[in-house]
Amino acid sequence: MSELTHLQRQRVDQFCRPPVGWYLVIEPGLVALAVLASSKRAYEAARGRVPLPSRGAIQATAIGTALVHLAEAAAAYRAARRRGLHRSAPRWAAEAFLVGFPALLQLHRAGGVTGPPSVSGSPEGGSR
């Protein structure tokens, strides 16, 4: 592949948001989990209407979810930089923290400055 000019790199180094359907499926649950975990009043009101696990279990689930999303954000940042997406890497990381794995899927589809990743080999696009 020929060398890309600075302007071409800027055009290629862009963020592409995952499809909106992912947000509609994932975000309401994340918001509900955060509210139930952080507000005793909201937890008690919801528990009066629907069966829920203990508040401690909900809080542990919320913490676990945040840690998983943090790990996904770190993975997205590293993967974006490996693909030459240095300028947009922070945006990929933020999006992975918000929506999780759909951002990683979108990043994989986006390829990068050096072109789309190879499908034969490791998730990074090369062979091991």
For residue 125, give the 3-state DSSP assignment.
Answer: coil
Q: For residues 21 and 43, is the Cβ–Cβ distance under 8 A?
A: no
pLDDT in tens, 10-67: 556 788 888 999 999 999 999 999 999 999 999 999 999 999 999 999 999 999 999 9
Token look-up 């770190």 returns 74
pLDDT bucket at 128, cuts 50 / 70 / 90: very low
Give the whole-angstrom CA distance, residue 111 versus residue 4: 15
Is residue 30 packed enough to be buried (19+ CB in 10 Å), middle (13-18) or exposed (0-12)?
A: middle
**Both tokens assigned to 9:** 């790199």
**Both tokens assigned to 95:** 């999006």
Q: Spell out the domain ranges in the chain.
A: 19-110
Output 94 or 115, whichever has higher pLDDT: 94
Give the whole-angstrom CA distance, residue 114 versus residue 73: 22
pTM of the predicted protein model: 0.74
| Phi, then psi, of 52 in degrees rounded to 5 | -130, 155
Tell me, what's the pLDDT at 17? 87
Give the whole-angstrom CA distance, residue 27 versus residue 49: 22
Tell me, what's the pLDDT at 80? 93
pLDDT bucket at 7, cuts 50 / 70 / 90: very low
